[in-house]
Structure 1
């Protein structure tokens, strides 16, 4: 990196440890410094404009210049800039937000617990799973099942749930009591000649066998993103969740729906659980809850979970869990205003209107020589890159093909995210059809550049 030592880039390298970043590479190349936002775009410190093709991190649903959310934060800062919810304390913004979330829930829910991130919401769910089973007299029922390629967070417990190798390697994870079952990617894991229906049955049978091998009396819960976003926008077969939920019900296993990315319109419904017919006992949410303008998350719990909290906290004397900033009034006010905007502007309806264009343009990339599968639902999708389209052989990870696509996309004015062999797309929900066309044209140029480069690599 050859820049002025007083530049933002140099000061960043000197002082910040970045998440999900190759630290050695970053020290040489420095950061892309973003200075402002405008609609679905962000602008860097050199004035270059980028379509944010990942909506920040699957979260900036209303883009980067929604004045109503700024005003909501200012109003709340002036009135009550902070208060907590410990010891029975509360405030109006949190109360109104909880009321609205309960009304929006895809299945009946009893209470809302506030936190600050999706990781914290899912970590809270883990603790409640254990707390619940202690309360009902089943202390041995504590193991939790997630899936290969799932993403549920980065705390010690939630990173253990996450089924991605880089979240485990050299962190001494996963911890004991966290299990992983099959990823429902038919493209990647289906057998030759196998139908999607048969694949879904095999996934459910594999889950049941795992439960039987571990002992049903020890299995407490199953975590699921309706669509596995960070794992590569993996869309399960049509009957997958019907079969999975039958197994869970058979062995009295709780279902936790991780709606951190799928929630609030992303898939063309308020919650992804509605699209896939999930009937969870708890629902975690974050990201689009506040359109990412302020950090906030929530965990909705069913009545049976809440009743266990009541009985156990009465016995112990308190419910010994919570975060200083959980339910902070400023993020709560911003989230409340976000939900009002979703309703007033019919954001879900807008997604339903534009998602056919998004999915059509996305799936057209299936014919590109680099692309094995183009998949998605609503306004989220991914391109899985392959070395051989017939055999589905993947590229050598050391080549970094998906990362190269990401760099070329950035050169063409689009920010996307490469994860493994996939290129993920998840634009702001306010994107228009013409902006989708522009986005996809730039992605095509990035893919073409990458294909030319791959051919030189031998």
Structure 2
């Protein structure tokens, strides 16, 4: 059978053949893609050669930018030495061992072992299965329910999407599955009561969590998953004292805490782990993205000894731990991850983040806090969000259907900045960790121009009296 002729343009070929994730498929068919052809530092270039600073490092992940030659060479050398081997049935290779050792050395709290997967979603899905396995091994067959948070994000597999607390990850997918619960979002800007301090708000969050646990039955709750900073749900920074209060509740009822460090890990919040920034002491930690600077897919699950020993005994009783992926600990991905961690150390990436992160946080607030469209600027280290609102006094957002943040990122793109809209009309900032203060200023200039254009458009539309 003769295949159909290909369309002439790259854009038309894409529309004819590719099913895109996180995309309005019909809108894509009508408007076509943005085609990115190459990268250089913090910039990517489209097919016409136009440069853009990607202010979210792709998908929160290209921490060393888009052209690190050391990572390319690490991949090439490993491809020539051992392009693939698996880790099933006690097989191993040096790169996987080296990477596991490096992660354990850098863990925010003592951890026992590292399990490898290929994405943040797979890492969290694996953690879910480990938790169920762990409680079955302890004879606690009812202790299976899992708690996420409203607006939390943990991935898109059936289980990790159930843990996620965002409507568009559930709607029309028949999710969440039974047994997945969601407690309140710790967003002080929108959630605090009049006169309530951050500490009081954090106490109320912990009280609501405990109320949920008691209503469900502590004997039925296995674990809670939490991002140190909630990423895709809005870059929501926890209020003062939040995690110590949450952990006290979990420990009271023998409930594990899983730190989802997929976005926050490897320097993003100013410490190596977001857990260190906010006083989180997890039983299990998941990571991905900046683990390899996204140059190759790889993720990891670190488990403490309490959890590991129970799982190990159960696997011996059964005869195997019946979970894993063909590409778990893939040697080429592991080699790139090892080199990535070495680069972080050798370039003192945390020292760099301390400087450029402080600059980004200060300049975002100086330039935009008083803007009539900006309700809140929030963030820590090199991750931040700017929330656009219709009414600053009441914190009221624009109507969802107007897609104000999406419009703004479209204008930013015209000004050479690729951004990302967030739920609640937030604009995300999570640039490559190698970004300079001058490049941050270039980004913020593009954002300022976008807000000027948006202001004029809204005045013309009569949607908001601005200025």
Q: TM-score, normalised by structure 1?
A: 0.98
CA distance in 2, matches of 1:117, 1:453: 40
Q: TM-score, normalised by structure 2?
A: 0.96
* Alpha-carbon distance, 1:333 to partner: 0.1
CA distance in 1, matches of 2:69, 2:187: 40
* Alpha-carbon distance, 1:73 to partner: 0.2
CA distance in 1, matches of 2:455, 2:234: 20
SS at match of 1:321: coil
2:124 matched to 1:122?
Answer: yes
Q: What pairs with 1:350-429 in structure 2 (closer than 5 Å)? A: 350-364=352-366, 365-420=368-423, 421-429=425-433
Structure 2 gaps of 5+ residues are 1-5, 463-467
1:220 to 219, 222, 225: 222
The equivalent residue for 1:253 is 255
CA distance in 1, matches of 2:402, 2:276: 39
* Aligned alpha-carbon RMSD (Å): 0.9
CA distance in 1, matches of 2:270, 2:403: 32
Residue-by-residue CA offset, 1:60-110 (whole Å, 9 max, x unaligned): 000001000000000000000000000000001000000000000000000
CA distance in 2, matches of 1:310, 1:151: 29
Q: Which 4+ stretches in 1 moved above 4 angstroms?
A: none
Q: What pairs with 1:5-20 in structure 2 (closer than 5 Å)? A: 5-20=7-22
* Alpha-carbon distance, 1:348 to partner: 1.0
CA distance in 1, matches of 2:36, 2:286: 29
- Structure 1 range deviating more: 416-425 or 71-80: 416-425
* Alpha-carbon distance, 1:5 to partner: 3.4
1:442 to 440, 443, 446: 446
2:462 matched to 1:452?
Answer: no
The equivalent residue for 2:434 is 430
Residue-by-residue CA offset, 1:263-300 (whole Å, 9 max, x unaligned): 00001111000000100000000000000000000000
CA distance in 1, matches of 2:452, 2:128: 44
CA distance in 1, matches of 2:216, 2:135: 17
CA distance in 2, matches of 1:235, 1:419: 14
Residue-by-residue CA offset, 1:109-129 (whole Å, 9 max, x unaligned): 000000000000000000011
CA distance in 2, matches of 1:58, 1:257: 17
SS at match of 1:256: strand
SS at match of 1:270: coil
Q: What pairs with 1:270-289 in structure 2 (closer than 5 Å)? A: 270-289=272-291
CA distance in 2, matches of 1:202, 1:265: 30
Paired residues, what number? 455
SS at match of 1:194: coil
CA distance in 2, matches of 1:429, 1:411: 24
The equivalent residue for 1:26 is 28
CA distance in 1, matches of 2:328, 2:363: 40
- Structure 1 range deviating more: 304-313 or 118-127: 304-313
* Alpha-carbon distance, 1:456 to partner: 2.1
Residue-by-residue CA offset, 1:297-336 (whole Å, 9 max, x unaligned): 0000000111111111111110000001111000000000
Residue-by-residue CA offset, 1:123-142 (whole Å, 9 max, x unaligned): 00000110000111111110
CA distance in 1, matches of 2:419, 2:323: 36
The equivalent residue for 1:326 is 328
SS at match of 1:391: coil
Residue-by-residue CA offset, 1:122-177 (whole Å, 9 max, x unaligned): 00000011000011111111001010000000000000111110000010000000
